């Protein structure tokens, strides 16, 4: 086994998940490599899987960009709605942090000694915007596909684009605002299909393919979508 493969394996964090149904490897923005295995897969099998995927892991590491500055961004590029929103900042005392939206621009008022206040304001705004944007998309697709869903919640998660509960409640990641419409539609179809099949069985993927024939290419694109998401969203 090549030395570089040994080095990559040494960096891997192997995690057992009772909820996982299959082996999965993720590479975070700061270069953390996590190998998640379900209960029926041994640690040895997980190591062998990571070894077989060392070339893919190496490619993901080369895509990692240097961390963005801790200060909030100058604009938000929302690909889902084809919007680029300028963001301006006003230095104010800590106790009056607020966000003002007008004429397609965002104006943040916060104490610049505490940049996390600005990021928190933008996160809260993104969750509100994501809900108002994603819910009509989800309800329309639900009607078109006859795949019913109940409640929708919107969160800001590091890795998961969405999830579906046994009660047909769907949770979506506000970061979807930064993705192209085709990828967002794929995520919505994926979660709606879980209202019928709460697994990733062949029947589940057949149902996904019925409404998203290009799901394989969309799934690959999602795996490479990390550079589209602003790094400051995960900074605390």
> pLDDT (tens digit, 9 = 90+) per residue, 189-203?
999 999 999 999 999
Q: How far is CA 180 from the centre of its chain?
A: 13
d(CA 10, CA 33) in angstroms, rounded, equals 10
pLDDT band at 66 (very low <50, low <70, confident <90, very high): low
Segments of the chain assigned to CATH 3.30.2010.10: 75-234
d(CA 151, CA 148) in angstroms, rounded, equals 10
Residue 165: the pLDDT is 94
Specify whether domain 75-234 bears CATH 3.40.1110.10.
no
Q: pLDDT by residue (tens digit) across 16-64?
A: 988 888 899 998 877 889 999 999 999 999 999 998 888 888 888 877 7
Q: Is the pLDDT of residue 2 over 60?
A: no
What are the structure tokens assigned to 170, written together?
Answer: 């769907």
Q: Could you count the other beta carbons within 10 Å of the beta carbon of residue 160?
A: 12
Among candidates 133, 224, 217, which has minimal Cα distance to 177? 133
Tokens 């394996």 — which residue?
9
Q: Which residue has the higher pLDDT, 80 or 28?
A: 80
pTM reported for the whole predicted model? 0.72
Of all residues in the chain, what percent carry a pLDDT higher than 70?
Answer: 94
CA dihedral 200, 203, 206, 207 (to 10 degrees): -90
């Amino acid at each position: 086994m090549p030395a570089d493969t040994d080095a990559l394996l040494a960096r891997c964090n192997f995690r057992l998940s009772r909820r996982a149904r299959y082996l999965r490897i993720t590479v975070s923005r700061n270069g953390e490599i996590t190998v998640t295995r379900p209960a029926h897969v041994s640690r040895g099998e997980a190591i062998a899987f990571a070894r077989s995927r060392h070339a893919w892991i190496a490619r993901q590491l080369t895509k990692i960009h240097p961390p963005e500055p801790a200060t909030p961004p100058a604009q938000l590029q929302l690909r889902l709605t084809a919007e680029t929103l300028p963001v301006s900042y006003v230095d104010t005392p800590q106790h009056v942090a607020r966000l003002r939206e007008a004429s397609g621009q965002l104006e943040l008022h916060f104490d610049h000694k505490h940049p996390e206040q600005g990021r928190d304001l933008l996160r809260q705004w993104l969750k509100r915007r994501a809900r108002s944007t994603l819910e009509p998309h989800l309800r329309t697709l639900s009607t078109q596909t006859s795949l019913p869903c109940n409640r929708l919640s919107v969160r800001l998660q590091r890795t998961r684009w969405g999830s579906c509960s046994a009660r047909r409640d769907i949770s979506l990641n506000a970061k979807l605002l930064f993705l192209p419409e085709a990828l967002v539609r794929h995520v919505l179809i994926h979660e709606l299909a879980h209202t019928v099949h709460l697994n990733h069985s062949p029947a589940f993927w057949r149902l996904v393919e019925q409404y998203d024939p290009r799901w394989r290419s969309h799934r690959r694109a999602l795996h490479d979508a990390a550079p589209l998401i602003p790094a400051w969203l995960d900074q605390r």
